[in-house]
Amino acid sequence: MNPFGFLRYHLNVNLLGKSFLRLDRMRLSRRMRRTGFWRDEHLSPPLLTSPRLKELISSHYLKGRYANGHCPVAWVTSGGPVEFLVALGYYVLYPENHGAVCGIRRSAEDLCILAEGHGYSRDICSYARTDFGAMLGGKTPVGRLPRPDLLLCCSNICQTVLLWYRVLAHHFKVPLILVETPFLYRDALPHQVEYVKHQLEAGVEQAERVAGRTLAPSALDRVARLSKEASLSWAEIMACGKQRPAPITAFDEFIHMAPIVEMRGEQFTVDYYRAMLAELSGRIERGVGALANEKKRILWDNLPIWYRMRRLSRLLAERGVAMVASTYTNAWGELAEMMDSSRPLESAARVYLHPILNRGTGHKLETIKTMAKEYQADGIILHSDRSCKPYSVGQMDQREKLAGEMGLPALLLEADHNDPRVYSDEQAENRLEAFMEVLGV
Amino acid sequence: MSSGEVSALGIDVGSTTFKLVAVDTQGSMLWHILEPSQPRLEEQARRVLQEASAKAGRELDEGSIVATGYGRNLVPAGRRVTEITCHARGVFAATGHGGTLVDIGGQDSKVIVIGSDGRVTNFVMNDKCAAGTGRFLEVAATRLELDLDELGRVALESEEEVSISSTCTVFAESEIVSQIARGHPIEQIVRGLVRSLTRRVAALARSAGISEPVMLSGGVARNPAVREFLAQELGRPVELPEHPQLMGAYGAALLAQAEK
Amino acid sequence: MALSTRTFDRLNEIFYVVPMSESSGEIAVPGRIETIRAYKALGGKVAAVFPIHYPRALFRACDILPVEVWGPPGVDTCLGDAHLQAYTCPIVRAGLSFLLQGKLDLVDMIVVPHACDSLQGLGSILLDFIKPARPVLPFYVPRGEGEPARQFLVAEISRVRDELCEIGCKSPTPEEISEALAREERADAALAELLARTANLPTSDRAFYRLVRSREYLPAEEFEKAARALLVRKTEKARPGIPVLLSGIVPEPGEIFDAIASASGRVAGDDLCCSGRRLYAPGHGNDPLSRMADGLLSGPPDSTRGSSVEERIAHLSALVERHAAKGIIFYNLKFCEPELFYLPQLRQGLQAAGVRSVVIESDLGERLSDQTVTRIEAFLESVA
């Protein structure tokens, strides 16, 4: 928001960054199209859109690096109603997504250790510990995170985010917008929707004050429309997993979900998913599966195990087990229909109350049962994530009912999404082996 | 040690070792008794006190005794004080300054931040998990068929190390077995074990807040590799008081002496 | 009528009962079972209520006695462990196990307020999977502030009132609700006085908290009587002992007070969810549901209600000053996120103001571990 910041941003992001990232994408694309690029007997090569994904993600963090001084910055929870912030011109950062990047790049452990050295217990969410480690000066693989001017916390994914964001608010001394979404034990009631709507309205006012500008209805409409389009495309992409063989696995989706999570409301996100969908349609037409030899199909419940994705993906692929869908990636598509871009705030109040994590354990079970049928699943892995109580509590009963009533082999796998110290390769793989034997591969 | 009139006794009843220290009116350490802890602690305490009285040349009444350590309630003593306070007192008297004391015992480890006046300003303990304690090395030594006292020397014999990643002592044992099966030399495995222990202890120390200098006490302090690795982990030199295992009993004796 | 120790031992097996002190005559407070039986004999219903914040007055207006379930400590959790992972809150694991053992068969309904992910999960699995014979009523307390939160809470309280009527409870008139609320407000005022005057009350911490915690189950008017009976006996001089503030969810097991006392300490100042963090101020206006909502939102800064770190630091500092406490014992339940997230910044802020603190972890066992006792003793030795 100052001339120097403006210049610095445009030089580094638009002039230098854009060109460099584009060249890098083109280089990667060329490499991917060379014969002999991919030599794996079990897994199909990555999607040809992957270099573009990398470009989008790198670009996102590059923008963040130079955002301070150029535009207002908001840190947001992954299920947050981000549309009005994007429409107000905020650069939006997702600490959870940054946490996942650290998890994938194996830097989360050191950040957690740093946070623990400052007194944060090992019993709190590993995303939060990763974030606190970064907040306290730890090294992050994305370079440098912009300081927030505003925090937006929506409790529709868990109750600890409010505690986490209170810590951030105290550290950064910035305002915190709370959009509290009362937990839906049963169906949503009018007073719950009203409450969320009022908080959204108050949130908009607060965000306008910090940004120093007013929210233009046309801007919000545009962002809401793009958000919905992208969500609908994402839902279609996941639906591709219903094909036999599945042209994409949940492991791929864990990576390709980055735009819908952290770049919602942008045109390039819509374009990306259209391109991805086109490529997947091509694969479906040619009968190309994500696995060279798909024998069995399974579902995944809960967050991924970020630091072990490649290894687990390989382990399953070697036995022809395709992970065709997950409740986690599904969460960003299943509510697309509920969005009404003509009444963005009103429908947002309703939409943001309904993510799967804000609904009862019985509802999640029904969702899994439906997915099992629609995706013709032969089994399910329920990741009992030590760091995620809202997702994990209820899994024991869900597992019982899936294995019992539905006769669906269901493995409860104990781990953590970001803290490798809680994970034992030998133990986990032993259980996976046993599970695959039950599946019959 | 000088031979003078015994004025007070400090008894530190640990889970692994039983320690008794005698001090004179000046608070100087005269002599000590150190032996493995026996299951019947009360009997052991009675016997050791008899030995101590014989050595001192007179009966020592309860008023001259302060007991500390996990079995402190089973020992006849005028006062019972926690090992945290006693260690701080002992180390402060032995070194002449405060700092951060890292004490790695048989079954627990603690970090005590001692102020420049000898008072405890902060403390943290690990007493729920064997992985950060002497027990960790004990289990490993048994598995490797080495004497516990040899471990330090063996660890320092190697430049390279095999990383032991298990969070749990029991699982570390199976990890040792699989590393041996893979043909890794014992020295490298032992080095990895000591590294694992000191990393954990260093994390505990950081959570207490490092106030220099860092000092090491407890039975495990006798392991030269632990001291070296801890210094590496914390990026600072680690001091060793003269009788690292006796600091608790010494501090208790000083407290007993101060009461008189 | 004092019950014999043998009867208490037997009652202890059936339900969580507060034991009488050996030197009786200190504070005679009936136990939970006794209270439940007496209330039911009068034709009332009983609700088992999980922590933390909920509208007591509403239940009493419907002739339902809320009896809180904070564990209890020392429960064998093997039945609950079939439904809840080990990293769930110990209160929730114990409470579910208690229910599955049939120990809540005496009650007519189960109320699960919403305070954290563990309680959220408990409410949900009770409703969707376990489906106990008794109706399960969730209750959501907002973490937000201001008018939208207040309006939401009024509507949420109305919803519970309607649900109570649906399950066959009495439908109270606004006057009955107002009366019930007035009684709760008086009881809360008595509790506030008790906590303000701890130092000058002729009792031990353990006995004092037996009385304080009877607020969790005694009818408000009976609690008020018992509280006032102790308050009239207040002394000029403060009780001996190193004053320390006790902060956390619940002081269980009760041995914690013995450990503090043997280390020459005494509890001065209360930041516990079961007591000090539920010091509600009376609400405003004539509409009883509105008043009730105001009251619930008026409690002191509480991590389980997502208060800001600044507010928590200020509140604790003020308590320390008011009670001249030498330090704070943060007595934490394992896995309790609301407490764990705040602790580092809280302790840092307090340390900057010269307030020492120690963190002690509890897993709601029946006994206090030696390690815990050592920590308490070491802390008191260092602040003495």
Q: Smallest Cα–Cα separation from A396: which of C116, C50, C125?
A: C125
Q: How far apart are CA C363 and CA C122, in angstroms?
A: 18
CB pairs under 8 A between A and B: 14
Name every chain A residue with its beta carbon within 8 A of the beta carbon of B203. Answer: 113, 116-117
Nearest-Cα residue of chain B relative to residue A113: B203
Q: How far apart are CA A282 and CA A163, in angstroms?
A: 46
* Average pLDDT of chain B to the nearest whole number: 89
A136 shares contact with chain B (CB less than 8 Å): no
Identify residues of B whose CB sits under 8 angstroms from chain A CBs: 165-167, 171, 174, 203, 206-207
3-state secondary structure labels for all residues of C119-170: HHHHHHHHHHHHCCCCCEEEEECCCCCHHHHHHHHHHHHHHHHHHHHHCCCC
Tokens of C51: 């922590």
A48 shares contact with chain B (CB less than 8 Å): no
Predicted confidence band at B3 (pLDDT cuts at 50, 70, 90)? Answer: low
CB pairs under 8 A between A and C: 157
pLDDT tens-digit readout, B69-84: 988 989 999 999 989 9
Each domain of chain A, given as residue ranges in start order, spans: 3-25+41-439
Touching C: which chains, 3+ CB pairs < 8 A? A, B
> In this prediction, what percent of chain A has a pLDDT beyond 90?
89
Using the CB atoms, write b or e for B160-179: b if 16+ within 10 Å: ebbebebeebebbbebbeeb
Predicted confidence band at C370 (pLDDT cuts at 50, 70, 90)? Answer: confident
User: Quick one: pLDDT at residue B209?
Assistant: 83
Q: Which of B171, B174, B207 has its CB closest to that of A119?
A: B207
A186 shares contact with chain C (CB less than 8 Å): yes
Nearest-Cα residue of chain A relative to residue B174: A426
CA of A131, closest CA in chain C: separation in Å? 12
- Cα angle A288, A294, A297 (rounded to 5 degrees) comes to 115
User: Quick one: pLDDT at residue A425?
Assistant: 87
Residue B226 maps to a domain: no
pLDDT top residue among B197 and A382: A382
User: Quick one: pLDDT at residue C173?
Assistant: 96
CB contact under 8 A, A117 and B207: yes
For residues C282 and C30, is the Cβ–Cβ distance under 8 A? no
User: Quick one: pLDDT at residue C3?
Assistant: 34
Neighbours of C56 (CB within 10 A): 29
For chain B, list the strands marked E by DSSP.
Answer: 8-13, 17-23, 29-36, 65-68, 79-80, 99-104, 109-114, 120-126, 214-217, 238-239
Q: How far apart are CA B154 and CA B156, in angstroms?
A: 5
Mean pLDDT over A73-89 rounds to 96
CB contact under 8 A, C340 and A124: yes
Predicted confidence band at B127 (pLDDT cuts at 50, 70, 90)? Answer: low
Chain A window 220-239: which residues touch C at a Cβ cutoff of 8 Å? none
Name every chain A residue with its beta carbon within 8 A of the beta carbon of B207. Answer: 116-119
Find residue A184's DSSP bridge partners. A359
Tokens of C271: 């930041």
A133 shares contact with chain C (CB less than 8 Å): no
pLDDT tens-digit readout, A242-276: 999 999 999 999 999 999 999 999 999 999 999 99
Name every chain C residue with its beta carbon within 8 A of the beta carbon of A120. Answer: 340-341, 344
Residue C51 maps to a domain: no
Residue B33 maps to a domain: yes
Mean pLDDT over C22-37 rounds to 74
Q: Is the pLDDT of residue C4 over 80?
A: no
Mean pLDDT over C290-304 rounds to 96
Q: How far apart are CA C55 and CA A154, in angstroms?
A: 25
Residue B21 maps to a domain: yes
CB contact under 8 A, A178 and C306: yes
The residues, any chain, with a CB within 8 Å of residue B15's CB and separated by 6 or more, are B37, B70, B71, B105, B106, B107, B108
Nearest-Cα residue of chain A relative to residue B167: A421
Nearest-Cα residue of chain A relative to residue C158: A191
Mean pLDDT over A103-131 rounds to 95
Q: Smallest Cα–Cα separation from A321: which of A304, A302, A298?
A: A298
CATH label of the domain that carries residue B63: 3.30.420.40
Q: Is the pLDDT of residue C1 over 50?
A: no
Q: Cis peptide leading into C253, omega within 30 of 0? A: yes
Domain containing residue B50: 8-91+246-258
User: Quick one: pLDDT at residue C26?
Assistant: 59
User: Quick one: pLDDT at residue C16?
Assistant: 43
For residues C277 and C271, is the Cβ–Cβ distance under 8 A? yes
What is the DSSP code string of C298-316?
A: TSPP-GGGT--HHHHHHHH
Name every chain B residue with its beta carbon within 8 A of the beta carbon of C371. Answer: 108, 125, 127-128
Q: Smallest Cα–Cα separation from A431: which of A415, A417, A420, A418?
A: A415
Residue C105 maps to a domain: no
Residue where the block lists tokens 């409790």: A155
Predicted confidence band at B128 (pLDDT cuts at 50, 70, 90)? Answer: low
Nearest-Cα residue of chain B relative to residue A121: B207
Q: Is the pLDDT of residue C21 over 90?
A: no
pLDDT tens-digit readout, C211-270: 999 999 999 999 999 999 999 999 999 999 999 999 999 999 999 999 999 999 999 999
Residue B216 maps to a domain: no
CB contact under 8 A, B206 and A117: yes
User: Which helix or strand (DSSP H or E) is residue A298 part of?
Assistant: strand A296-301
Neighbours of A322 (CB within 10 A): 29
CATH label of the domain that carries residue C314: 3.40.50.11900
ipTM of the assembly? 0.96
Q: How far apart are CA A126 and CA A113, in angstroms?
A: 10
Name every chain B residue with its beta carbon within 8 A of the beta carbon of A116. Answer: 203, 207
Q: Which stretch of A97-111, A222-236, B158-172, C120-134 has the lowest confidence by average pLDDT?
A: B158-172
pLDDT top residue among C377 and B121: C377
Name every chain A residue with its beta carbon within 8 A of the beta carbon of B206. Answer: 117
Residue C374 maps to a domain: yes
CB contact under 8 A, C370 and B70: yes
Q: Which stretch of B2-11, B181-190, C291-300 has the lowest confidence by average pLDDT?
A: B2-11
Q: How far apart are CA C231 and CA C120, in angstroms?
A: 38
* Average pLDDT of chain A to the nearest whole number: 95
Q: How far apart are CA A111 and CA A101, in angstroms?
A: 12
User: Quick one: pLDDT at residue C230?
Assistant: 94
Name every chain A residue with its beta carbon within 8 A of the beta carbon of C118. Answer: 389, 393
Residue where the block lists tokens 């919602």: A264
Residue C354 maps to a domain: yes
Predicted confidence band at B173 (pLDDT cuts at 50, 70, 90)? Answer: confident
Domain containing residue C369: 240-384
CB contact under 8 A, A185 and C345: no
Nearest-Cα residue of chain A relative to residue B164: A421
Predicted confidence band at C201 (pLDDT cuts at 50, 70, 90)? Answer: very high
> In this prediction, what percent of chain C has a pLDDT beyond 70?
93
Predicted confidence band at A350 (pLDDT cuts at 50, 70, 90)? Answer: very high
CB contact under 8 A, C337 and A401: no
User: Quick one: pLDDT at residue A60?
Assistant: 96
Q: Which of A164, A166, A393 has its CB closest to that of C118?
A: A393
CA of C202, closest CA in chain A: separation in Å? 38
pLDDT tens-digit readout, A159-204: 999 999 999 999 999 999 999 999 999 999 999 999 999 999 999 9
Residue C167 maps to a domain: no
User: Quick one: pLDDT at residue A386?
Assistant: 96
Name every chain C residue with its beta carbon within 8 A of the beta carbon of A124. Answer: 337, 340-341
Q: How far apart are CA B56 and CA B40, in angstroms?
A: 24
Instruction: Name the DSSP letter for residue A13.
Output: I
CB contact under 8 A, B120 and C381: yes
Nearest-Cα residue of chain A relative to residue B203: A117
**Quick one: C23 exposed, middle or buried, by C-beta within 10 A (0-12, 13-18, 19+)?**
exposed
Name every chain A residue with its beta carbon within 8 A of the beta carbon of C120. Answer: 159, 183, 390, 393
CA dihedral over C296, C301, C304, C308, signed as positive or negative: positive
A394 shares contact with chain C (CB less than 8 Å): yes
3-state secondary structure of B5: coil
| Domain count for chain C | 1
Tell me phi and psi for residue C35, to 5 degrees. Answer: -65, -45
Nearest-Cα residue of chain C relative to residue B126: C371
C-alpha distances (whole Å) from B65 to each of A50, B36, B82, B84, C341 are 74, 20, 14, 17, 43
A424 shares contact with chain B (CB less than 8 Å): yes
Find residue B10's DSSP bridge partners. B21, B66
Q: Is the pLDDT of residue C137 over 90?
A: yes
A221 shares contact with chain B (CB less than 8 Å): no
Predicted confidence band at B149 (pLDDT cuts at 50, 70, 90)? Answer: confident
Predicted confidence band at A427 (pLDDT cuts at 50, 70, 90)? Answer: confident
A113 shares contact with chain B (CB less than 8 Å): yes
Mean pLDDT over A207-233 rounds to 95
Q: Which of B165, B174, B203 has its CB closest to that of A116?
A: B203
Tokens of A146: 């912009």
Q: Smallest Cα–Cα separation from A126: which of A305, A257, A359, A327?
A: A305
User: Quick one: pLDDT at residue B137?
Assistant: 84
Neighbours of A245 (CB within 10 A): 21
Q: Which of B85, B121, B125 has its CB closest to that of C371?
A: B125
Q: How far apart are CA C123 and CA B228, in angstroms?
A: 52
Interface test with A, best of C125, C157, C343 (most A CBs within 10 A): C125
Interface test with A, best of B200, B207, B233, B234 (most A CBs within 10 A): B207
Predicted confidence band at C11 (pLDDT cuts at 50, 70, 90)? Answer: very low
CA of B172, closest CA in chain A: separation in Å? 11
Q: How far apart are CA C172 and CA C164, in angstroms?
A: 10
